[in-house]
Amino acid sequence: MQNTAKSRARFRRPLAFGTGLAVSLAVFAFAPGLPGVIDAGALVVSAGAGALAAWVCGRRFGPDR
């Protein structure tokens, strides 16, 4: 049972990171009022949003839960 929970956690965290990264990049690219340019700052903020999503997912759905 423990192995299954660990494998699910290993699957969820990268998925959460990728989702957070993609959603925040989409906001920077398509939100009205923003220039629609993906620059270095947008990439850093998006990576931070993805890392935050992965951390929250790890805390919420970690293997010890």
| Structural domain contains residue 26 | no
Q: Concatenate the DSSP letters of all residues of 26-64 into one string.
A: HHHHH-TTS-----HHHHHHHHHHHHHHHHHHHHHS-TT
Per-residue pLDDT reduced to its tens digit, 27-53: 888 887 777 777 888 899 999 999 999
Residue 43: which domain range?
1-11+35-65
| Structural domain contains residue 18 | no
Alpha-carbon 64 to chain mean position: 21
- Angstrom distances, CA of residue 55 to CA of 10, 14, 23, 44: 12, 10, 16, 16
Give the dihedral sign, CA 4/7/13/18. negative
Domains: count for the chain: 1
| Structural domain contains residue 6 | yes
Look at residue 1 and tell me whether its pLDDT is greater than 70: no
| Structural domain contains residue 28 | no
pTM: 0.76
